[in-house]
Structure 1
Amino acid sequence: MTTLYLGGYTTDQPEGRSGLARVTLTDRGFGDVEPLPGPADPSWLVRPGDGPDLYAVAEGEGSQVVRVRDGEGVVASAPSGGMGPAHLALSPDGRWLVASNYVSGSVGLVSTGAGGDGDGDGGTLELVDELQLEGDGPHERQDSAHAHQAVFLDDRRLLVCDLGSDRVREVSVEEGGALRHTGDVVLPPGSGPRHLAPAPGRDDLVWVVGELDQTVHTLGRDGSGWSVTQTVTTAPEGPGPGETTTGGIVVSPDGAHVYVSTRGTDTVSVFAVGERGHLTLRQQVVVAHWPRFIGWLPGQEGRRLLVAAEKEGSVDVWAVDQGLLEETGHSLAWSAPTWVG
């Protein structure tokens, strides 16, 4: 049995609906959903381990980063360092949370109160620095910087997806807790980098999802810095009817396959990884409507893929066999899911 937590939106949902919940998954399927007390619009969660605490963004009014204790609700909070936090990343040593604020285009650094070994009383959260990004792009949604995701390469180095400027920002956490912008990786105009995933065990190869043009970019780093070495589409037959945007990305633990969801076509694309990290489409499966999030089932990474379809209101489990996806028939109905794990 696996215990999963769900995060989603409370805005425009029935009054009293919790955006945080817990559910169990067994070989027979999902159990009953148990609503949990939490903040408004916890659209992205972080599970730091097997303990009772979660970290979450409160995306709506207030723009907070919060610590939620299972069964108790919010036990600590801090400003996110901007407006509209859409993503939260925890440093490998457990000392720092980085919030990517989509609306304001800024990145906030929050201390967890833990020591360098990750230990601490877990009592307080504190915003210690914020970094304002600048830039724009040709798409109507690129009027200014829009930070969408930060990924730690190690305890100090970060890559930040800035959808608004068509750039992946290189950022470092300085000693004492300060964010420093150290460089940029320029992506094709109008691509809108949303999320990225590094190759397992490497800090010189990442794949970046272009939300606005349904693409995946392979980025490699050598002595002269980062560069885009390949761009592939996630919609080889063209966009779906209406809005079409890519969503989530995950990599298999062995680094052999990359999985990307596309909203509008409502598909998950399976890419095989070849020389220099270049991608070849192996499979594309149709999933439930608007697959905003995909992620591995905890404890079964590389074997079970979770797909959270926001507008369908469902979480589905897909089996992975030699890299390819197969339906399991396990599906959970829950309104507006944006994170599960």
Structure 2
Amino acid sequence: MSRPQTGTPTSGDLVIGGYTPDTDGSGPGLTVVRADPSGGLAPVAEAPASGPSFVVEHPELPLLYAVLERPDGGVAVFAEEPGGPRRLAERPSGGSFPCHVAIDPDAEWLAVANYGDGTVAAYRLDDDGMLAPDPLLFRNEGSGPDPERQRGPHAHQAVFGPDRVLHVTDLGTDEMRRFLPGMVPHPEGPVRLAPGSGPRHFVHHQEHWYVTGELDGTVRVYDEDWREVGGTAASESGEHNLPSHIAVSADGRHLYVGNRGPDTVTVFAPDGPRLERVAEVPSGGHWPRHFAVTPDRLYVAEQRSDEVTALDLVDGLPRAGVRAMGVGSPSCVLVRSRATATGDEGPV
């Protein structure tokens, strides 16, 4: 396999992943998007794939990795090229319905969260960023108090945290699973989180973990030892807000949470265990599944209204004047970190 050339990424600022007709969606696969300085969005390339519901990029090479969220599960590797992403390889995800993928900072491991059966898969990467023939597989057992959503394990998000320790939420068992560098299961086992919370996405910030509870509609705060020290409702709308993604601004002043029930984004000011609610604004579409934050904008994947919206940020707060671009069943927004091939201003 030839190594992709550096310095020749696709001419686009965002990469949108989503569901395709064979995975109960209407999207084309991957969509590369140009975002102009005013916030306007325009598609510039597409790449076919089967349900690429989450996408990450290699920290150094012009490569993209996408999970293929289907019953048999897959992981695809794409080269970023001026004409659009080109698929280089595809491997099994090691489980069913993979929904998240992460790459460690040293680009040695690619971790996959398989929602369907809870399996965590880890592929070793070679110097060219390609996947080893077979992954390490880590299965889980257990259930939670919700009889419909927690009959078994459901790995949901994988994040390499401090000291390169991999953390994986399990929505089905109310756990945080941990793996030491080299993909060694943590000797103390998984951390038990609030029963029935259904942990979904999470972020580490200033010695605290902030975790969205998909089933109980909360944002819970944990310290470095995973003791719960705070928390609040993710939305003021009440029950069934179904929080999705969570992220911290680059300056650390704001914490953003997507709420799929009321179609809003809540903004908090994080202060250790305290979360001060600053604002809750409409996301601009229906079912904000995921979003990406830049210093000036929030880009939101509105899964059920088939669009990506762009919300201006003024002093970190979303403002009116939403711009939208149509794309079928989007579920992930990746802001590319490398400059474009055309020499434009790059990611915004």
Under TM normalisation by the shorter chain, which class is it? 0.7 to 0.9
Picking from 68, 82, 85, the partner of 2:95 is 82
Q: Hey, what does 2:196 align to over in structure 1?
A: 190
Q: Hey, what does 1:331 align to over in structure 2?
A: 324
> 1:24 aligned to 2:20?
no
Q: Hey, what does 1:135 align to over in structure 2?
A: 142
Picking from 196, 204, 208, the partner of 1:205 is 208
Q: Distance in 1 between matches of 2:187 and 2:94?
A: 15
For residues 88-144 of structure 1, give each alpha carbon's deviation from its aligned partner in whole angstroms, at most 9, with x where no partner exists. 01000011110001011110001121xxxxxx2234443331111222111120001
Q: Hey, what does 2:340 align to over in structure 1?
A: none
Q: Hey, what does 2:217 align to over in structure 1?
A: 214
For residues 276-331 of structure 1, give each alpha carbon's deviation from its aligned partner in whole angstroms, at most 9, with x where no partner exists. 341011100012110000112xxxx3321111110011111112222321134321
1:162 to partner: Cα distance: 0.6
What residue ranges of structure 2 are gaps of 5+ in the alignment?
Answer: 1-10, 335-348
Picking from 274, 277, 282, the partner of 1:278 is 274
Q: Distance in 1 between matches of 2:145 and 2:60?
A: 44
> 1:152 aligned to 2:155?
no
TM-score (norm 1): 0.86
Q: Hey, what does 2:18 align to over in structure 1?
A: 8
Q: Distance in 2 between matches of 1:147 and 1:237?
A: 27
Preserved CA contact (<8 Å) 2:306 2:330: yes
Q: How many residues align?
A: 317
Judged with a 3 Å threshold, the aligned counterparts in structure 2 of structure 1 residues 180 and 81 are, in CA distance, closer, same or farther, namely farther
Q: Hey, what does 2:4 align to over in structure 1?
A: none
1:230 to partner: Cα distance: 0.9
> 1:290 aligned to 2:293?
no
Preserved CA contact (<8 Å) 2:235 2:280: no
1:73 to partner: Cα distance: 3.1
Q: Distance in 1 between matches of 2:327 and 2:188?
A: 41
Judged with a 3 Å threshold, the aligned counterparts in structure 2 of structure 1 residues 186 and 13 are, in CA distance, closer, same or farther, namely closer
Q: Distance in 2 between matches of 1:28 and 1:324?
A: 17
Superposition RMSD in Å: 2.1
Preserved CA contact (<8 Å) 2:39 2:310: no
Judged with a 3 Å threshold, the aligned counterparts in structure 2 of structure 1 residues 61 and 167 are, in CA distance, closer, same or farther, namely closer
Picking from 299, 309, 313, the partner of 1:316 is 309
- Secondary structure of 1:226 counterpart: coil
1:13 to partner: Cα distance: 4.1
Picking from 105, 108, 116, the partner of 2:121 is 108
Q: Hey, what does 1:235 align to over in structure 2?
A: 235
Preserved CA contact (<8 Å) 1:80 1:110: no
> 1:62 aligned to 2:72?
yes
Judged with a 3 Å threshold, the aligned counterparts in structure 2 of structure 1 residues 237 and 123 are, in CA distance, closer, same or farther, namely closer
Q: Hey, what does 2:8 align to over in structure 1?
A: none
> Residue 213 of structure 2 aligns to which amino acid in structure 1?
G
1:72 to partner: Cα distance: 5.7
State the identity %.
36
What residue ranges of structure 1 are gaps of 5+ in the alignment?
Answer: 114-119
Picking from 92, 104, 107, the partner of 1:94 is 107
Judged with a 3 Å threshold, the aligned counterparts in structure 2 of structure 1 residues 28 and 336 are, in CA distance, closer, same or farther, namely same
Q: Distance in 2 between matches of 1:179 and 1:185?
A: 12
Q: Hey, what does 1:117 align to over in structure 2?
A: none
TM-score (norm 2): 0.85
1:155 to partner: Cα distance: 5.8
1:23 to partner: Cα distance: 1.4
Q: Distance in 1 between matches of 2:170 and 2:187?
A: 13
Q: Hey, what does 2:181 align to over in structure 1?
A: 173
Q: Hey, what does 1:305 align to over in structure 2?
A: 298
